[in-house]
C-alpha cells in the first residue's frame, strides 16, 4: 500500500490547481450571481485536456487513469464547483460510457470531439417522475423504419444548453420494464428537440442546468448505444463511475472551505490574538481536516479499484456518501468560523456551503448510496 503519488499524478494536480487559481477564481462570484459559465473557460479546459482525461489517446483523450481524474476534479472543485460538475459529466458519464459501450462509428463521430472539448455532452436520465426510481422512464422511443421516434421530458440536466450531444435514456418496450430501456445519442438541433427553462438553483449556479423536451424527434438507429434493451444497464454502470467523480467534487468543496478557514483563522484576531489560537476554533479545524482527509482516502480507494478492474460499486457509493456529507459539514463549519463574514459572498465560504448540498442529491442521493452499500454487503 503506497500513499505517495507518482510524478504524473503530481503534475496533474499542479496543472489543475494552477488553472483553477489563475483562470477560474477571477470572476467566480460574478459567474455565480449571473448563473453563467464563460464559454472561453470551457474551451481552455478542453485545450488542457480536462474534458477527456480518461479517454484513450486513439480518440484524442489523455489516456489517464481514474486516480488522475479525481485528483484534477478535487483541485478544480477546490475553487469552482460549477466548473467541476461540467467536467465530471463530460468525463465520467458521457465520454466513459460512450467509449465503453459505443460502436466504433459512434466513437469516431462523437467521442473524438467530446474528448477535446470541441463538443460538450449531457447525460439525460432523470425525469419529472423518475429520479431515484430510474426504472420508471416515461420518455419513449418507438421504432419506425431506420429511426426511433423520441418523445418525453428530461429534467435537472447538467450542460443542458451547452451540450451538443445528449445521452438520452428512453423506454422502447414498456412490457419489458427496465429491460426495455435503451440509450441514444441525440444531437442538438434535431426537429422537435427543445431546450426548456434554465433552473434557478441554490448552488452550482454557474453550471448549466435545464429541462430538455423531445417531441417526435427522429433519432437514427445507428445512434442507439449497445444492444437492444441494454440502456438501463448502461446507465447504472456509467453512474457507478460518475459517483466517484461527484465524490471528488465534494472532496474539493470541503478542501476549498478548509483552505479558506485556515487562512481566515490565522488572520482574524479576537481578544488580542488570532482565533486560530482559541481552542474552540482549533477543534473545528481539526475535525474539518480529519473529515476531508478521510473523504480523500475513500475517493482514492474507489478510483484505484476502478483502475485495477476490480469491483468498485460499494467503494464508489461509500466515497460519495461520506464525501458529500463531509462537504456539507465542513462548509457549514467554515461559515461558522468566518462568523458574519462567512455569510457574505466576498469571502466565498457561503458559496461552498450552497454548492455542497447538491453532492448529497445528484447522481444518486445519500439514501440511495446507503441502499447500494447495504445491497453489496448482504449479497
Q: CATH topology of 7-120 equal to that of 233-378?
A: no
CATH class held by domain 122-231: mainly beta
The pLDDT assigned to 313 comes to: 97
In sequence order, the 6+-apart residues with CB closer than 8 A to the CB of 239 are 93, 125, 363, 364
The pLDDT assigned to 324 comes to: 98
The pLDDT assigned to 141 comes to: 97
Active-site pick, 23, 74, 350, 363: 363
Domain ranges of the chain: 7-120, 122-231, 233-378
Residue linked to cell 426510481? 133
CA dihedral 194, 195, 196, 197 (to 10 degrees): -160
CB count, 10 Å around CB of 41?
Answer: 18
The residues that bridge with 212 in the sheet, in sequence order, are 154, 195
Q: What whole-number distance in Å separates Cα of residue 81 and Cα of residue 66?
A: 19
The pLDDT assigned to 368 comes to: 96
Beta strands in 221-366 (DSSP E): 224-225, 269-270, 273-274
The reply to whether 363 belongs to the active site is yes
Pick the CATH number of 7-120 from 3.30.390.50, 3.40.1390.20, 1.10.540.10, 3.30.230.10: 1.10.540.10
The pLDDT assigned to 129 comes to: 82
What's the pTM?
0.96
- The CATH architecture assigned to 233-378 reads Up-down Bundle (1.20)
10-residue mean pLDDT profile of the chain (379 residues): values are 91 98 98 95 96 98 98 98 97 97 98 96 92 86 96 96 96 94 96 96 97 98 96 94 97 98 98 97 98 98 97 98 98 98 98 98 96 97
Amino acid at each position: 500500500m503506497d500513499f505517495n503519488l507518482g510524478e504524473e499524478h503530481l503534475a496533474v494536480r499542479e496543472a489543475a490547481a494552477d488553472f483553477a487559481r489563475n483562470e477560474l477564481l477571477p470572476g467566480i462570484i460574478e459567474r455565480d450571481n449571473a448563473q453563467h459559465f464563460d464559454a472561453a473557460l470551457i474551451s481552455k479546459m478542453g485545450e488542457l485536456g480536462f474534458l477527456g482525461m480518461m479517454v484513450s489517446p486513439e480518440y484524442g483523450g489523455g489516456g489517464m487513469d481514474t486516480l488522475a481524474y479525481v485528483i484534477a476534479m478535487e483541485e478544480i472543485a477546490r475553487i469552482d464547483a460549477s466548473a467541476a460538475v461540467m467536467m465530471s459529466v463530460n468525463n465520467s458519464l458521457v465520454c466513459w460510457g460512450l467509449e465503453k459501450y459505443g460502436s466504433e462509428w459512434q466513437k469516431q463521430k462523437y467521442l473524438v470531439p467530446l474528448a477535446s472539448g470541441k463538443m460538450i455532452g449531457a447525460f439525460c436520465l432523470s425525469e419529472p417522475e423518475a429520479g431515484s426510481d430510474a426504472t420508471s422512464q416515461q420518455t419513449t422511443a418507438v421504432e419506425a423504419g431506420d429511426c426511433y421516434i423520441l418523445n418525453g421530458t428530461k429534467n435537472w440536466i447538467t450542460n443542458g444548453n451547452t451540450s451538443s450531444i445528449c445521452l438520452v435514456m428512453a423506454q422502447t418496450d414498456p412490457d419489458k420494464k427496465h429491460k426495455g430501456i435503451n440509450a441514444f445519442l441525440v444531437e442538438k438541433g434535431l426537429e422537435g428537440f427543445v431546450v426548456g427553462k434554465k433552473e434557478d438553483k441554490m448552488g452550482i449556479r454557474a453550471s448549466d442546468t435545464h429541462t430538455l423536451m423531445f417531441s417526435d424527434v427522429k433519432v437514427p438507429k445507428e445512434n442507439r448505444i449497445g444492444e437492444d434493451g441494454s440502456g438501463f444497464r448502461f446507465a447504472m454502470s456509467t453512474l457507478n463511475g460518475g459517483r466517484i467523480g461527484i465524490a471528488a467534487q465534494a472532496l474539493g468543496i470541503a478542501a476549498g472551505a478548509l483552505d479558506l478557514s485556515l487562512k481566515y483563522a490565522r488572520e482574524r484576531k479576537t481578544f488580542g490574538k488570532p482565533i486560530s489560537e482559541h481552542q474552540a476554533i482549533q477543534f473545528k479545524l481539526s475535525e474539518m481536516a480529519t473529515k476531508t482527509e478521510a473523504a480523500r482516502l475513500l475517493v482514492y480507494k474507489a478510483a484505484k479499484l476502478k483502475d485495477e478492474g476490480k469491483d468498485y460499486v460499494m467503494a464508489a457509493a461509500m466515497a460519495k456518501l461520506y464525501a458529500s456529507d463531509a462537504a456539507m459539514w465542513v462548509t457549514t463549519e467554515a461559515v461558522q468560523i468566518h462568523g458574519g463574514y462567512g455569510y457574505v459572498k466576498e469571502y466565498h465560504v457561503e458559496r461552498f456551503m450552497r454548492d455542497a448540498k447538491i453532492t448529497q442529491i445528484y447522481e444518486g442521493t445519500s439514501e440511495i448510496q446507503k441502499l447500494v452499500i447495504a445491497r453489496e454487503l448482504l449479497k
